[in-house]
Every structure is written in structure tokens, then in C-alpha cells.
């Protein structure tokens, strides 16, 4: 029977030295059992090895040795000036109570909810440091550990105990400590990997069985789910994932059930991955490092998580200086690291550990994985956040709050995701960054953010505010061409203005003359803004992209005349992409989208010499009327009434399930974009 025992041992240096002396192993393979028995102590006897002024490390997360922590607090009456180190605690931290102010002083590497007030009120310390570098602090002696309080699985046949669900910085701390006190708990799963310690390396053993602390993720609200849906677009087949802590990053897992052969290399492993493993989505078969293995540093969860990792050869646990080493992370191809933030400024600086002067969480492994994913071939570092804080204020801000710290610098940031879309910042100018972030900010805050950006000369003074509440990513399509090529069709965003410029200046004089029906040599920024800043209802700009070369190859636009409910349409195709079927794909899709918005038809003005465009309209799926006057054809495409009615019904049904696109056109119900 594993249980705590009564009685209190002596606080003496000889006893401590005698305990440490028993670490020397014997050559006899079975002799460890005798030494194990000799190290058994009651809780008071084990904790008596801690001296006044010691630096004490406590295992973290679900691996916190609760019985040892309780006894440490009980022993407080004989201790003084004891510094306590830990990572993230899930239970209570009784040693931070005001009555222990002269006895214990907490120094945390990551601030959990249980000690947040203690840090804020000055009763505890916070050390900001990359998680990958904490073990080095222990091993170098910069942060010396006198005693490590750890929780382990029972020893195996060879005398090795597993650190179980908390390898992270716990194993390095135990290895660096002068005295190691272990709670042996049969409830601790035996995880595999670089996560073992032999009983000969322990100084005192307390057998005490109790349930491990559990961690339950917060419920996912609509905003978190939409952020997760957006972020999931950055995860392709065969990607390797790291999911950071917080209520938003795990939401991405809800939208990956159609992916194939995903892998996991992460610091924190949660039960969310089990469903994807069982579904065959996470196979780790395409990993370029530790193929076929889930690699983690610690795990948080409940009984389901514990059962999954127990003696599971699919899972490998390693200390944080390995799992979080950017060099190691970068060896995983297609590494997608998903982490969270509290706020981000218009230049791309990310704050994720503090609210102004108040420290909220910690640096943790965010920067480790951002840097690692950026080194990965095909890697994508992703930062997720809701567009607004709980009080309704914008999380995308002109400048970070006074006192807020930069965790991920503007030079390291790549993808920022909110419920309103994805902003790609890496290699972008301050102007491009500001516009990309304003576009994914909450619509109620965009005008104010743009005003601040103009005041600081981040953007052009005549820059227009994005007119659409949300970019309609559901309209994106991948289309095959008759010659075997492929293009991506999607609506344009305000940040696509440089692409419009390149398309215009790459076009021949003849193509420009046929498109604009005059000799046009420049496309001013004011006109380019009008092309990309559309509401996706009364105005639409739809583009075709050559993904292989990241080029915009064709553009189709419409502008609605409300008095006739007809939209004027125009197209421009790069010269080297003409006669490949791109124009046909764009026009057909424009017709479909216009019908869904209740538009009655299209009009166009086409030069009589523009045979390709005339042929394009003549071959479209709807009835076409033309009238020639002074070398120019007036074209009217009136949509089939029955097909129009059917498409409007399709759109209305879609909007019932996805009320996100505001539209006041005939046949369309206005969408609720408040989320």
C-alpha cells in the first residue's frame, strides 16, 4: 500500500549527506531493490533533508508531487529563506501565502492562475526566459538547485523510474540538484523517451499513491473556433504540429480531420490529439525527425491522456532543452507552430506574457517554436488571438500597452491569425504590416487603427479603410486548366494592391488598350485601392493566381448599378496566360457568385477587335445579347431566372449556417458579422 507515514525526521547535515551517499550504484543488477528499500522515508523524514536557505525545485503541471508540496508547507515552521522554483502549477501554491513571507519565496518560469496574484502583489517572482534555456541555467549553476521535489512512476525491472507526464525542465532540475526527493506514485504513467532516472540517483523516496492533478481545457467559444478554422488553412498534409497553451491554439485541431499524415513535435501534449490519432489523421509517418513518433516534453489532461501516454511506444518525451531547441525543431519539415498572444502592435511586435505592467503568463516555448518553425523547410510560425479582448478593446493596437513586453519580435513574426483572417508579415514593410493587421482587426476598430497608422506615417495618408467586415475565404477555389495547369481563384484583399500594380505593368500595351479602351500608361494608387478594397457584394474583384510562381495572372471585376441590378464586369489576363482557359473559369465563377447575391446580370463594353473577350462571353453559360456601335460591342448577360432563384436559395441556406458575410443586395439576408 502506497501511503504517507507519520513522524518527522531530523534536520541534520549528516543525514542529508548519508542519503546522498547511497546514490553509488552496485554492480549487482538486482541490488537496486535493497537500496530502494533503504531510501524509503515517511513524508516528514524525507522533507527533513531540506535545510534553511535551500533552493527547492518542484515538479510542474500534472506531475506536481502534491504530497511533497503539502509536507513542504507543513515543514515551513522550521525553514527560512527557502526559494522555490517551478514552471506551471495546476494545484494550489500554499507556500505563497502571506504567512510564509519569511519562509518561502516563489520564483516561477511561467505564471499560472494560482500564482498570478502573488506575482502581481510582490509575494512571488517571475523569471522571463526561453523554456529551451532553463535547463542550462540549472546545469551551469546560475540557478542552483539544492533539492528537487519530483514525482515518478514506480521503478521498472531494471530500477528505472519515469518522470511520466512532466519531463520538461523537471528532469534537468533533478539531474542538477544536490538532493532528490521523489514521490513514487503508481498513478504516474510510465512514459518513454529521454525521461528516466534510476533509483540509485534518488536520495529519499516516499511511496504515496494519489490521483494526478488534472487539466481541463477551457470551452471553445465561437470566436476561438473561427480563429482555429482560419489557422487550419495553414496546415497541409504531412505537416508537423506544435500547439501552444491557451484556449485558442487547440481550436485548430477541430478543423484538421480531412488532413493526412500529420505529425507532432511539441512541448505540451494534450488530449485533443488523441481523437486525431484514433482517426488516422496523426500518423507521424511523414516526419523528417523521429519518424512515427509523437515527441513532447510534458502533457496536460485527465485520465484519458494518462492512459494514452502510459508505456506507449508511439510517444517520446524529452527535456525542454531538446524539444524546444530551435535547431531540433527546424529539422522537422513543414513545421507549423501555433501559439497565442495577448496583443500585437501595428509593426508586428507580439506581447504574450503581460497585460501592461502586470505579468500574466510567461515566454514559455513560443519564441523557441517560432524560431524553429521559421528554420523548417516549409515551416509556418503562427500566432493566434481574438480580435478583441474580454472588455471589447482591440488586441491589435497602434502601440503595445505601457509596460507590455515584446515576446516575439517584429523580425521573427510570420503569420498572425484572428477570426477575421490571416495576416502574413514576414519580409513585409511597416506599411504592408499595418494594412495586413488592420484588415484582420475587428471592424469596429479598423478606422481608429488606420488613423493612428496615418498619424505615425506607417501608411499613405490617402489610404482607404477596408470596406468589408470580413474577407470571404469560403470563396477560394483551386481550379484545373485544360492544359493540366492549376490556378487558385480567390477574392482580392486590400493588401493585394502591389499585385495589381505588377499585373498592370506586366501587361502589354495591346492588352491594356483592350481592357481600358484607351492608351493607359499608369495605374495610380487611388485606382489600385478601388480594385482591391471591395465589399464582395456590390463590388467584387476576383483573381487567379499561379501558386508555383506566386503571381497574379488574371483579374475579373464587377460593379453593381443599383437602379438596374446589373453589374458591369471587366477582365484582364496576363499575355502569357491567355488562351489557357483562365478567363473562362473566372467569368463562370463570377456569374455564380453574382447570382448568389441576387444580381440580375452582367454588362460589358468590349472593343470589336478584342476577339478573345467576345468569344469568352459568347461561350458563357448564360444567354448573351450584343450590340455593335462605333467599333464597340455592348454586351448584356441576363441570368436565367430559374437558375438565379436556385443560386439565391443556395446562398440563403449557406448564410443560415454561416452568418458572416454582410450583404444588402436583393435576395440576400444581411449577415451578422459581429463575431
> Strands 358-359 and 263-264, how do they pair?
unpaired
Residue 216 contacts residue 302 (beta carbons within 8 Å) = yes
- The residues pairing with 635 across neighbouring beta strands, listed in sequence order, are 604, 626
**How far is C-alpha 342 from the chain's CA centre?**
13
639-661 burial string, b = 16+ CB within 10 Å, else e?
beeeebeebbeebeeebeeeebb
Q: Cα–Cα distances in Å, from 372 out to 170, 294, 324, 379?
A: 22, 17, 8, 8
Packing angle, helices 497-506 and 525-532, rounded to 10: 120
Q: Give the integer Cα–Cα distance in Å for 567 and 564.
A: 8
What's the number of CA atoms in the CB half-sphere (13 Å) around residue 506? 16
Q: Is 267 a catalytic residue?
A: yes
Q: Cα–Cα distances in Å, from 559 out to 522, 555, 599, 652?
A: 21, 14, 11, 22
For every residue of 43-60, which 3-state class applies, written as one string? HHHHHCCCCCCCEEEECC
Residue 355 contacts residue 204 (beta carbons within 8 Å) = no
Q: Cα–Cα distances in Å, from 561 out to 326, 549, 598, 600, 602?
A: 55, 36, 13, 10, 10
Among 364, 360, 473, CA closest to 418: 473
Q: Give the integer Cα–Cα distance in Å for 230 and 241.
A: 16
Residue 242 contacts residue 272 (beta carbons within 8 Å) = no
Q: Give the integer Cα–Cα distance in Å for 256 and 237.
A: 9
Per-residue cell: 565: 441590378
Give me the DSSP letters along 423-452: EE-TT--HHHHHHHHHHTS-HHHHHHHHHH
Give the angle subtended at the CA of 419 by the CAs of 416 and 420, to the nearest 5°: 80
Residue keyed to cell 513524508 = 43
Q: Give the integer Cα–Cα distance in Å for 141 and 500.
A: 58
Among 495, 499, 479, 475, CA closest to 487: 479
Q: Give the integer Cα–Cα distance in Å for 68 and 376.
A: 41
DSSP 245: S
Catalytic residue chosen out of the listed positions 83, 267, 343, 557: 267
User: SS3 of 18, please?
Assistant: helix
* Alpha-carbon Rg for the chain in angstroms: 31
Q: Give the integer Cα–Cα distance in Å for 63 and 175.
A: 17
H/E element holding 345?
A: strand 343-345
- The residues pairing with 486 across neighbouring beta strands, listed in sequence order, are 480
Quick one: CA torsion of 460, 461, 462, 465, rounded to 10 degrees?
Answer: 80
Give the active site residues.
267
Amino acid at each position: 500500500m502506497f501511503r504517507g507515514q507519520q513522524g518527522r525526521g531530523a534536520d541534520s547535515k549528516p543525514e542529508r549527506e548519508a542519503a546522498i551517499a547511497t546514490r553509488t550504484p552496485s554492480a549487482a543488477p538486482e541490488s537496486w531493490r535493497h537500496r530502494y528499500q533503504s531510501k524509503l522515508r515517511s513524508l516528514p523524514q524525507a522533507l527533513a533533508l531540506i535545510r534553511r536557505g535551500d533552493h527547492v525545485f518542484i515538479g510542474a503541471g500534472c506531475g506536481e508531487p502534491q504530497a511533497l508540496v503539502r509536507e513542504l508547507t507543513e515543514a515551513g515552521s522550521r525553514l527560512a529563506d527557502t526559494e522555490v522554483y517551478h514552471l506551471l502549477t495546476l494545484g494550489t501554491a500554499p507556500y505563497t501565502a502571506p504567512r510564509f513571507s519569511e519562509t518561502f519565496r516563489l520564483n516561477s518560469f511561467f505564471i499560472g492562475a494560482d500564482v498570478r496574484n502573488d506575482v502581481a502583489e510582490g509575494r512571488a517572482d517571475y523569471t522571463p526566459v526561453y523554456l529551451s534555456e532553463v535547463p542550462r541555467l540549472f546545469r551551469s549553476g546560475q540557478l542552483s538547485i539544492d533539492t528537487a521535489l519530483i514525482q515518478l512512476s514506480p521503478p521498472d525491472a531494471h530500477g528505472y523510474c519515469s518522470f511520466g507526464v512532466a519531463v520538461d525542465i523537471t528532469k534537468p532540475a533533478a539531474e542538477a540538484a544536490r538532493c532528490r526527493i521523489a514521490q513514487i506514485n503508481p498513478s504516474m504513467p510510465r512514459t518513454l523517451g529521454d525521461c528516466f532516472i534510476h533509483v540509485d540517483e534518488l536520495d529519499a523516496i516516499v511511496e504515496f499513491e494519489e490521483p494526478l492533478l488534472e487539466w481541463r481545457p477551457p470551452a471553445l467559444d465561437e470566436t476561438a473556433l473561427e480563429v482555429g478554422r482560419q489557422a487550419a488553412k495553414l496546415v497541409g498534409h504531412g505537416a508537423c504540429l506544435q500547439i501552444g497553451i491557451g484556449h485558442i491554439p487547440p481550436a485548430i485541431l477541430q478543423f484538421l480531420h480531412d488532413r493526412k499524415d500529420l505529425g507532432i513535435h511539441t512541448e505540451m501534449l494534450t488530449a485533443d490529439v488523441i481523437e486525431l490519432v484514433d482517426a488516422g489523421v496523426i500518423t507521424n509517418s511523414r516526419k523528417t525527425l523521429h519518424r512515427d513518433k509523437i515527441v513532447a516534453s510534458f502533457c496536460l489532461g485527465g485520465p484519458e491522456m494518462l492512459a494514452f501516454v502510459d508505456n506507449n511506444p508511439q510517444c517520446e518525451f524529452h527535456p525542454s532543452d531538446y524539444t524546444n531547441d530551435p535547431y531540433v525543431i527546424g529539422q522537422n519539415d513543414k513545421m507549423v507552430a501555433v501559439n497565442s498572444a495577448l496583443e500585437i502592435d501595428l509593426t508586428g511586435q507580439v506581447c504574450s506574457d503581460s497585460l501592461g505592467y502586470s505579468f500574466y503568463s510567461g515566454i514559455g516555448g513560443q519564441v523557441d517554436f517560432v524560431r524553429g518553425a521559421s528554420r523548417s523547410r516549409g515551416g509556418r510560425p503562427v500566432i493566434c488571438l481574438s480580435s478583441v479582448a474580454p472588455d471589447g478593446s482591440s488586441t491589435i493596437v497602434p502601440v503595445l500597452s505601457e509596460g507590455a513586453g515584446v515576446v516575439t519580435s517584429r523580425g521573427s513574426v510570420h503569420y498572425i491569425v484572428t477570426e477575421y483572417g490571416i495576416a502574413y508579415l514576414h519580409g513585409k514593410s511597416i506599411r504592408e504590416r499595418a494594412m495586413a493587421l488592420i484588415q484582420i482587426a475587428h471592424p469596429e476598430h479598423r478606422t481608429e487603427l488606420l488613423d493612428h497608422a496615418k498619424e505615425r506615417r506607417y501608411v499613405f495618408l490617402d489610404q482607404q479603410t477596408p470596406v468589408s467586415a470580413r474577407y470571404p475565404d469560403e470563396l477560394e477555389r483551386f481550379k484545373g486548366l485544360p492544359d493540366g495547369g492549376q490556378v487558385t481563384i480567390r477574392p482580392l484583399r486590400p493588401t493585394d494592391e502591389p499585385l495589381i500594380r505588377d499585373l498592370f505593368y506586366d501587361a502589354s500595351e495591346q492588352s491594356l488598350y483592350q481592357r481600358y479602351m484607351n492608351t493607359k500608361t499608369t495605374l495610380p494608387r487611388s485606382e489600385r485601392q478601388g480594385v482591391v478594397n471591395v465589399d464582395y457584394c456590390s463590388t467584387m474583384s476576383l483573381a487567379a493566381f499561379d501558386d508555383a510562381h506566386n503571381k497574379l495572372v488574371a483579374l475579373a471585376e464587377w460593379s453593381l448599378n443599383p437602379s438596374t441590378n446589373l453589374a458591369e464586369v471587366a477582365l484582364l489576363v496576363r499575355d502569357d496566360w491567355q488562351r489557357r482557359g483562365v478567363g473562362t473559369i473566372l467569368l463562370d465563377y463570377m456569374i455564380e457568385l453574382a447570382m448568389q447575391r441576387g444580381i440580375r446580370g452582367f454588362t460589358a463594353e468590349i472593343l470589336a477587335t478584342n476577339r478573345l473577350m467576345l468569344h469568352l462571353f459568347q461561350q458563357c453559360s448564360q444567354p448573351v445579347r450584343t450590340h455593335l456601335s462605333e467599333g464597340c460591342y455592348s454586351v448584356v448577360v441576363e441570368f436565367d431566372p430559374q437558375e438565379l432563384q436556385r443560386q439565391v436559395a443556395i446562398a440563403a441556406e449557406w448564410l443560415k449556417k454561416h452568418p458572416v458575410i454582410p450583404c444588402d443586395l436583393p435576395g440576400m439576408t444581411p449577415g451578422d458579422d459581429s463575431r
